[in-house]
Amino acid sequence: MRGSQALIGALVESGVQVCFANPGTSEMHFVAALDTVPQMRGVLGLFEGVCTGAADGYGRMAGKPACTLLHLGPGLANGLANLHNARRAGSPVVNVVGDHATFHKRYDAPLESDIESLARPMSTWYRSTRSPSEVASDASAAVAAALGPPFGVATLVLPADVSWSEVPESTGQMFRPEAIGPSAGRLVGAEAVEQIAKILSSGERTALLLGGRAFRAGALRSASRVSVATGAKLLGETFPGRMERGAGLPAVERLAYLGEFAALQLDGISHLVLVDAKSPVTAFAYPGRPSDLVPESCAVHTGAAGGDAVAGALDALAEALGAGSGPYLPAPESRPEVAPGPLTPASAAAVVGALLPEGAIVSDEGITAGLYFSGATEGAPPHDWLCPSGNAIGQGLPVATGAAVACPDRPVIAVQADGSAMYTIQALWTQAREGLDVTTVILDNRSYAILNFELKRVGAEEGGKVAATLLDLSDPDLDFVGLARSMGVPAVRAESSEDLAEAFGRAVSEPGPHLIQAVLEKGGGF
């Protein structure tokens, strides 16, 4: 047995079933070994950012890692932005990077680079496996590291000679696959729970700030019970990795992206209790404005941290408040009305809200033109919503791709801004090849609209002609219908609500990928 086979075998025994791959010469033994371990599915991406983003989407939905297969430092580099997003989303990923043979590295061959320096910033765990006898246990350790708690991005570097060499026979007995599946996390102690209960019962104005695993159905119901029992405001992080939501589930008011609005949401709160969330800060700095969003007179408490048993902590908190089986506030069933007429960000959102299928998974990278979609779907049948947690654009289509691989029986919807779609547009080809049930709605405003907006907010001089050109996506206009069809994805253009409703209804009722270019007013956002 070669190192490559031992690696894949160990990954499979540790529960990894999918490899999102864009291999090169140094990964050829890994590729060949895939045929000897049929439990591992290989999915080709035409660009590494597609592979890492797909692994992120898979991890968010499957609750266990897929692996990637990337080619040396430059291949890893191409995948880093979406590993950044995975890390911020708290998504489990085993990131396999092929390296030159150990004896080859000293020659500084053309593709040689410092893989560790590149990988560390986006990895929660890093190891370069040094021998065929260690590759299985290293693979297993990588899966364990990805599963946490908390979930993370585990980068495992595989030198070509470790991959092609025979594993010593004695090694087999040394390998013990790690326990599969994420643990619920560290238990939050009764004393800590009591302390939070006391704060929430103090009569002062309090809020829970939910993030990460607090956005799962059970945790949401417990949090809502706490809120009902104590009057604590229920707030959420701006861009959680995965939210369960829709009719029947408690709705959570997420903090606005704009610090000015977030400050209003937090205004007057005396105690902010973090539940798998970070203390709120603005995404960017602005001249003369605070980065820290916590009001001066507000104390911040940790109810549950990233690696904690979040659902359990919220259960215990509800129990401690005597609300363990008390009422919670489910979002009422409701669908927006579709008014005929030209497409706007609001009317496009209404169409999707009206027609969102039950059990849908929404990959949301709609940015400015997508702001209405969350509200328009709050009362739709239960679904999952995946946000761009790391704010690095280019994750929307890959995450949708990976989510569809993880959940082949659920419809996936990508609410996708035009500018950010172009970063990883190659994902459409993988959707076509794998026949994935993804409906992409391109919000086509022919503009980096958010930057036109930010240009003013950062206090820059009124942008002139050059600045306007750099934030403009027309001249020439992008034909997303043509791009999609060229990669095998059926696509249509929609210029009115009726167009979009018809196209969206058809797309979600047919299997396989579809794309709809929803043509909005130029520069149109919220």
Binders of a second copy among residues 2 to 21 (CB under 8 A) are 21
| Closest to 414 (Cα-Cα) out of 10, 54, 4, 37 | 54
Specify the residue, 181 or 482, whose C-beta has the smaller distance to a second copy: 482
Does residue 364 touch a second copy according to CB under 8 A?
no
Does residue 470 touch a second copy according to CB under 8 A?
yes
Strands, E, within 307-449: which ranges?
361-365, 383-386, 412-417, 438-444
- Least Å from the CB of residue 410 to a second copy: 23
Residues 287-326 that bind a second copy (CB under 8 A): 287, 291-292
Residues 219-248 that bind a second copy (CB under 8 A): 239
Contact 436, 510 (CB under 8 A): no
The region of 179-187, 221-229, 398-406, 447-455 touching a second copy under the rule CB under 8 A is 447-455
The region of 124-132, 358-366, 467-475, 503-511 touching a second copy under the rule CB under 8 A is 467-475
The region of 105-113, 207-215, 341-349, 354-362 touching a second copy under the rule CB under 8 A is 105-113
Name residue 302's beta-bridge partners. 274
Cα 189 from chain centroid (whole Å): 30
The region of 104-112, 134-142, 216-224, 350-358 touching a second copy under the rule CB under 8 A is 104-112
Does residue 108 touch a second copy according to CB under 8 A?
yes
* Local structure of 109: helix, strand or coil: coil
Distance between CA 244 and CA 398 in Å, rounded?
Answer: 20
Residues 27-56 that bind a second copy (CB under 8 A): 28-29, 31-36, 38, 42, 44, 46-47, 49
Distance between CA 449 and CA 474 in Å, rounded?
Answer: 12
- Least Å from the CB of residue 164 to a second copy: 6
Distance between CA 505 and CA 499 in Å, rounded?
Answer: 10
Residues 139-178 that bind a second copy (CB under 8 A): 160-161, 164
H-only helix segments in 255-308: 259-266
- Least Å from the CB of residue 351 to a second copy: 24
Specify the residue, 389 or 497, whose C-beta has the smaller distance to a second copy: 389
Using alpha carbons, list the distances in angstroms from residue 358 to 252, 383, 442, 513, 515: 19, 6, 21, 18, 20
Residue 170 DSSP code: G
Does residue 1 touch a second copy according to CB under 8 A?
no
- Least Å from the CB of residue 517 to a second copy: 10
Contact 373, 353 (CB under 8 A): yes
Does residue 480 touch a second copy according to CB under 8 A?
yes
Name residue 243's beta-bridge partners. 385
Specify the residue, 80 or 412, whose C-beta has the smaller distance to a second copy: 80
Distance between CA 97 and CA 256 in Å, rounded?
Answer: 37
Residues 372-431 that bind a second copy (CB under 8 A): 389-392, 394, 419, 422-423, 425-426, 429
| Closest to 49 (Cα-Cα) out of 365, 388, 395, 392 | 395
